[in-house]
Amino acid sequence: MAKALLIGLDGATFTTLEPLMDSGAMPFLRSFARGGVRSILRSVVPPLTPPAWTSLTTGKHPGGHGVFDFFQKESPESRTLRFTTSHDVRTSTIWSLASEQGRTITALNYPLMFPAPKVNGRVVPGGWMPWRQLRLGCHPPGLFDRLKALPAFNPRELSHDMALEEKALEGCAEEDHADWITLHTRRERRWADVLSHLMTEEPADLTAVLFDGVDKLQHLCWRFLDPALRDESPTPWEAEVSRLCESYFRQLDEILSALVERAGSETTVVMASDHGFGPTYDIVYLNTWLEEQGFLAWSGDQGIRPDANREVGISQIARHVFELDWERTVAYAATPSSQGIHIARRTSDNPFGVTDESYPEVRARLVDALRDFRHPQTGRPVVAEVHTREQVFPGRFVDYGPDLTVFLNDDAVVSILRSDRVIKRRAHAVGTHRPEGVFLASGPGLRKGVEISEISIVDVAPLLLHTLELAVPDDMDGRVPVEAFEPEALRDRPPLTTTATNASLVGSPSSPEETPYDAEDEAIVLKRLAALGYLE
Amino acid sequence: MIAKDQVRAELIELLTKLAGDWDYEGEITPGTRLLRDLALESLGLVVLGTAIQDKYGRLPFTDFLAEIGQRPPAERDVTIQELVDFVCRNCSPVAAGGPS
């Protein structure tokens, strides 16, 4: 039976991979790219880990799968956000579709896999799975104890340890960089060792692993990775950080080589990223701008120090709900990651919100104001594009998306904090997400040594289903990228389409109506965003 | 209403198993505090809450956390007994003993 190996490289971009391949730091990836097919992989809006990986595994854009951010609105009109979980993936996934049709899967370290979907195979969740509770996220029962016997299976380093992440990132002290980079180097080796064990002892038809150190390093160390930004005369510390970053990628290359060799030549190997990366300098304090424009009001002195009371973290629940004056707030940015603006709607909980009748006028006025938003120093437009949710999130779950999504000029990032200035500039570039990710693939029937035109992240799920000799549901937004295949391979086995049922969502434990705890089970945890560098 | 003794025993068993994964050396008792004793942090509480609801059905866990978050910093913690009381107070008999 046909087999596939999906290797996720979170945030990988050819901007950094290409020089590493050319310099000899990633010789395996270079030969893999030359021996297979490669292209830019266009991410979704917003190019963010939870919606993007969900799009890759569902073949649908966010409006079709229901995941927009690290956090979800409890209802379309809700002001309260909660932590996004696997229950929010409200459509079939490659995991569920393969399972339903008798294929076995192994999925390691993918986000939004907690609670673990009841797939035909093994799941160790990734994303924001705290290491102390990794046992709770493993499927099937007994897998955690089986893996615990492995030397590589160290939950503290495999999963997230908030203490380590905060130590490394909150202050971004020079001395923390080395620990951060080497932690992720060890983490990738651990995941690879666990996967190698499962590939040998419990092989699956669809095997998948996600390496997320690429994203973590690029957020913090972009200026050491981007050849265009490298200092010609680095300080000893800068030289050491550059060396450690290169070492990470050298070791990642070794890992990729070993996994692909273990998979064997009859296995189709797909490497893909959820989004690309690039430098950013400017921070746009969107809520401060909304305040200046009369769309938002803070409640008293709130909003000055959102992290002022972090020792427990549970005080962060729905923090913006407590910090805004809802009698005078019309629109607000709830998270920095979504690049979105929400309009406060009139509900039983918010009698001051915008009525259905006023909504079109208020939204249009906000769009006009965003288009008129000018940089205080340069006078240039700050907002490159502004889109309504109907434009960027068409689909069943459109109402759960932000009312407006903005793309900022100069690759500026959004902050939701209160600030004395609307725009601030960093001294050094850091990394931020870009829509251009990577796609590399090799295996039976795929072309060799070609670069094809850009494909979409929603095309990966159809490609994997076709590889597994399964039909592609007709409700997927993506398509099998036939240009990646040899013509004779397509003649022998053309892609098949089937009517989507979504009747049994093995990969998503329940439909929205059946979700047993869809509204009250999680809390907003902005602390985690801060640790990842999303919260400015 | 589900029996409090049963919930207490089940939650202590669950947390004992979890604590064993991080080599916690103390005994898990009804008085064990999730934050100060077991060193759970916010995300850990959320994940634990999700797992508990997988077992006992939908519970107003966000409200529970919000209530704790409003306490003075020195009292901002949850004992296992408080968790048991919360589950028993809000758990429907049908949901109890559901999927685990």
CA of B54 to nearest chain A CA: how many angstroms apart?
A: 8
Share of chain A above pLDDT 90, in %: 75
CA of A160 to nearest chain B CA: how many angstroms apart?
A: 10
- 3 state DSSP class of A534: coil
Choose among B22, B73, B77: nearest Cβ to A132. Answer: B22
Whether the per-residue pLDDT at A8 is higher than 50: the answer is yes
pLDDT at A248: 98
pLDDT, mean of residues A29-53: 97
pLDDT at A168: 53
Grade residue A331 by pLDDT with cuts at 50, 70 and 90: very high
* HEC secondary structure over A178-223: HHHHHHHHHHHHHHHHHHHHHHHHCCCCEEEEEECHHHHHHHHHHH
| Residue of chain B minimizing CA distance to A128 | B43
**A207 pairs with which residues across the strands?**
A5, A106
pLDDT, mean of residues A172-187: 88
Chain segment B24-69, per-residue pLDDT in tens: 889 999 999 998 899 887 778 888 888 888 888 888 887 787 777 7
Q: Pick the residue with more confidence: A73 or A281?
A: A281
A370: its two tokens: 């965003």
A414: its two tokens: 């959004």
Cβ atoms A115, A99 nearer than 8 A: no
pLDDT at A70: 86
Whether the per-residue pLDDT at A52 is higher than 90: the answer is yes
pLDDT, mean of residues A512-519: 31
pLDDT at A161: 76
E strands present in A409-535: 413-415, 423-434, 436-442, 450-451, 455-456, 472-473, 497-498
State the DSSP code for A109: S
- 3 state DSSP class of A292: helix
Grade residue A526 by pLDDT with cuts at 50, 70 and 90: very low
A283: its two tokens: 């921070």
A133: which chain B residues are within 8 Å (Cβ-Cβ)?
A: 18, 44, 47-48, 51
pLDDT at A301: 66
Whole-angstrom Cα distance, residue A282 to residue A424?
Answer: 6
Choose among B47, B59, B60: nearest Cβ to A130. Answer: B47
Q: Is the peptide bond before A462 cis (omega within 30 degrees of 0)?
A: no
Whether the per-residue pLDDT at A473 is higher than 80: the answer is yes
Choose among B46, B60, B66: nearest Cβ to A83. Answer: B46
Grade residue B1 by pLDDT with cuts at 50, 70 and 90: low
Mean pLDDT for all residues in chain A:
88
Give the largest Cα separation in chain A, rounded: 69
| Residue of chain A minimizing CA distance to B66 | A317
Whether the per-residue pLDDT at A513 is higher than 50: the answer is no
3-state helix, strand, coil in chain A (%, to 5): 40, 20, 40
pLDDT, mean of residues A103-124: 96
Q: Quick one: angle between helices A174-201 and A236-263, nearest 10?
A: 10
| Residue of chain A minimizing CA distance to B69 | A315
Query: Which of the listed ranges A35-44, A225-234, B3-12, B28-37 does the model predict with the highest average pLDDT?
Result: A35-44
Whether the per-residue pLDDT at A531 is higher than 60: the answer is no
Q: At residue A84, what is the residue type?
A: T
Cβ atoms A67, A87 nearer than 8 A: no
Cβ pairs A/B, distance under 8 A: 125
Q: Pick the residue with more confidence: A102 or A519?
A: A102
Whether the per-residue pLDDT at A30 is higher than 60: the answer is yes
| Cα–Cα nearest to A134, from A117, A158, A110 | A158
Burial A295-316 (b: 16+ CB within 10 A, else e): bbbbbeebbeebeeebebbbbb
Grade residue A523 by pLDDT with cuts at 50, 70 and 90: very low
CA of B4 to nearest chain A CA: how many angstroms apart?
A: 21
Note the helical H segments in A334-459.
Answer: 359-372, 389-392
pLDDT at A403: 97
Whether the per-residue pLDDT at A236 is higher than 80: the answer is yes
Q: Do B62 and A132 touch (CB under 8 A)?
A: no
Beta pairing, strands A81-83 & A71-73 = antiparallel
- The single residue listed with the structure tokens 């510390």 is A237
**A278 pairs with which residues across the strands?**
A432
Grade residue B93 by pLDDT with cuts at 50, 70 and 90: low
Chain segment A219-229, per-residue pLDDT in tens: 889 999 998 99
Whole-angstrom Cα distance, residue A124 to residue A114?
Answer: 9
Predicted TM-score (pTM) of this structure = 0.90
Whether the per-residue pLDDT at A89 is higher than 60: the answer is yes
Whether the per-residue pLDDT at A246 is higher than 50: the answer is yes
Whole-angstrom Cα distance, residue A173 to residue A161?
Answer: 18
Whole-angstrom Cα distance, residue A198 to residue A207?
Answer: 9
Burial B22-60 (b: 16+ CB within 10 A, else e): eebeeebeeebebbebbebbbbbbbbbbbbbbbbbbbbb
CA of A495 to nearest chain B CA: how many angstroms apart?
A: 38
pLDDT at B73: 76
For A215, phi then psi, to 5°, come to -65, -45
Share of chain A above pLDDT 70, in %: 88
CA of B24 to nearest chain A CA: how many angstroms apart?
A: 11
Cβ atoms A456, A42 nearer than 8 A: yes
pLDDT at A167: 55
Count CB-CB contacts under 10 A for residue B77.
Answer: 17
Grade residue A536 by pLDDT with cuts at 50, 70 and 90: very low
pLDDT at A336: 84
Tell me whether A320 touches chain B (CB under 8 Å).
Answer: no
Tell me whether A503 touches chain B (CB under 8 Å).
Answer: no
pLDDT at A529: 42
Grade residue A53 by pLDDT with cuts at 50, 70 and 90: very high
Q: Do B47 and A160 touch (CB under 8 A)?
A: no
Tell me whether A167 touches chain B (CB under 8 Å).
Answer: no
DSSP letters of B31-73? T-BTTTTT---HHHHHHHHHHHHHHH----HHHHHHHHHTS-G
Name the least confident of A362-366, A530-534, B88-92: A530-534
Whole-angstrom Cα distance, residue A32 to residue A7?
Answer: 13
For A520, phi then psi, to 5°, come to -130, 15
pLDDT at B62: 72
Query: Which of the listed ranges A70-74, A92-96, A180-184, B14-18 does the model predict with the highest average pLDDT?
Result: A92-96
Q: Pick the residue with more confidence: B71 or B87?
A: B87
Tell me whether A155 touches chain B (CB under 8 Å).
Answer: yes
Cβ atoms A271, A211 nearer than 8 A: no
Q: Do A318 and B66 touch (CB under 8 A)?
A: yes
Whether the per-residue pLDDT at A68 is higher than 90: the answer is yes
Residues sharing a CB contact under 8 Å with residue A54, sequence separation 6 or more, in sequence order: A62, A65, A67, A89, A93, A112
Tell me whether A116 touches chain B (CB under 8 Å).
Answer: no
Whether the per-residue pLDDT at A420 is higher than 70: the answer is yes
pLDDT at B35: 86
Whether the per-residue pLDDT at A512 is higher than 60: the answer is no
Whether the per-residue pLDDT at A489 is higher than 70: the answer is yes
Query: How far from chain centre, in Å, is Cα A434?
Result: 11
B46: which chain A residues are within 8 Å (Cβ-Cβ)?
A: 83, 521-523, 525
A162: its two tokens: 């908030």
Whether the per-residue pLDDT at A496 is higher than 90: the answer is yes
pLDDT at B64: 82
pLDDT at A508: 41
Residues sharing a CB contact under 8 Å with residue A345, sequence separation 6 or more, in sequence order: A77, A353, A354, A356, A359
* HEC secondary structure over A305-366: CCCCCCCCCHHHCCHHHHHECCCCCCEECCCCCCCEEEECECCCCCCCCECCCCHHHHHHHH
pLDDT at A75: 84
